[in-house]
Amino acid sequence: MAPQNILVVHGDPGQRNELVSWLRQPNLAPLDADGLAHAAALLNPGVDLLLLDLRLPGLDLEALRQALSSEPAEPDSLAAAERRHLSRVLRHTAGNKRRAALILGISRSTLLHKVRKYHLEDR
């Protein structure tokens, strides 16, 4: 089973580092963010849990609640959903394309084609 990705956002670097150290376990993969802008850049479908300091300056709780709970105005296109899913599986396998292809139930060559198509080579 793949470890759960936990994004830790805390204003105090000492407490953030302590939390990240405490969360380093075989079934957990903590990521640390030093502010809201950094957290927004790291927040993606690959993040399973969000550990957030609610006292962060500039944190709009109502906007956060809406962003985390509401559906997008329009559904994603099939291509966007496929790209997001491929990206998540590649992240899950740490870039191992052979394992990713096995999980997806497609050939490695098909996966490589899709990786190039969606420009996922850099990840």
Look at residue 123 and tell me if it is in a domain.
no
Contact 12, 57 (CB under 8 A): no
Predicted confidence band of residue 42 (pLDDT cuts 50, 70, 90): confident
Q: Do both 62 and 85 map to the same domain? A: no
10-30: pLDDT as tens digits: 888 888 889 889 888 888 888
Look at residue 28 and tell me if it is in a domain.
yes
Look at residue 90 and tell me if it is in a domain.
yes
Q: Do both 9 and 49 map to the same domain? A: yes
- Measure the CA angle with vertex 47, ends 44 and 51; round to 5°: 115
Q: What is the CA radius of gyration of the chain?
A: 17
State residue 72's pLDDT score.
59
CATH of the domain at 30: 3.40.50.2300
Q: What range does the domain containing 108 cover?
A: 78-117
Residue 49's H or E segment, with its range, is strand 49-52
Look at residue 122 and tell me if it is in a domain.
no
Residue 52's H or E segment, with its range, is strand 49-52
- Asked whether the predicted pLDDT for residue 107 surpasses 90, the reply is yes
51-99: pLDDT as tens digits: 888 888 777 777 777 666 656 557 778 998 899 899 989 988 999 999 9
Q: Do both 93 and 59 map to the same domain? A: no
Q: Do both 82 and 45 map to the same domain? A: no
Q: Residue 30 has which token pair?
A: 């903590």
Integer Cα distance of 9 and 78 in angstroms:
32
pTM here? 0.49
CATH of the domain at 110: 1.10.10
